[in-house]
Structure 1
Amino acid sequence: MARSNQLVVPQSNAALNQLKYEVAQELGIQIPQDGYYGNMATRDTGSIGGYMTRHLVQMAEQTLAGRQP
């Protein structure tokens, strides 16, 4: 299956991976070192993605708030 979501800024991949590991650690979820997520519970991967999204939205809101007069 081909990935349909492409990163607008490919260099952001490392930062997103770092955020993923930080969020997983905060939630107490162990991410497999081999990168294979097939053995992880859907609930765990969904939690990581949800918290990442919340964090990214917060960052964007703070950035936008700082730009407004």
Structure 2
Amino acid sequence: MSSNNRTLVPEARRGLKEFKNEVAQELGVPFKEYNGNLSSRQCGSVGGEMVKRMVEEYESRI
């Protein structure tokens, strides 16, 4: 099974990883290299917050 989770701009990979870790830390989610022990809710909260912030940033620019 192939993954559709690929970074469209490879140069952005590092920034996205740092952003994910920053959001996770603020939400109290212990992200590490291996995250198999985290619940779907924890991982989803980080992803959801990332999307929320990216949308807010985009909307503030237009």
TM-score range, shorter chain: 0.7 to 0.9
CA distance in 1, matches of 2:40, 2:7: 23
Q: The residue matched to 2:5 in structure 1 has which SS?
A: coil
Provide the residue aligned with 1:36 in structure 2: 34
* TM-score w.r.t. length of structure 1: 0.79
Provide the residue aligned with 1:58 in structure 2: 56
Q: The residue matched to 1:5 in structure 2 has which SS?
A: coil
Q: Are residues 1:17 and 2:17 paired?
A: yes
Gaps of 5+ in 2: none
Deviation of 1:2 (Å): 1.6
CA distance in 1, matches of 2:25, 2:7: 24
Deviation of 1:4 (Å): 1.2
Q: After alignment, is 16-25 or 5-14 more displaced?
A: 5-14
Provide the residue aligned with 1:49 in structure 2: 47
| Structure with the greater alpha carbon radius of gyration | 1
CA distance in 1, matches of 2:8, 2:60: 21
Deviation of 1:59 (Å): 1.3
* Alpha-carbon RMSD: 1.2
CA distance in 2, matches of 1:7, 1:41: 23
Gaps of 5+ in 1: none
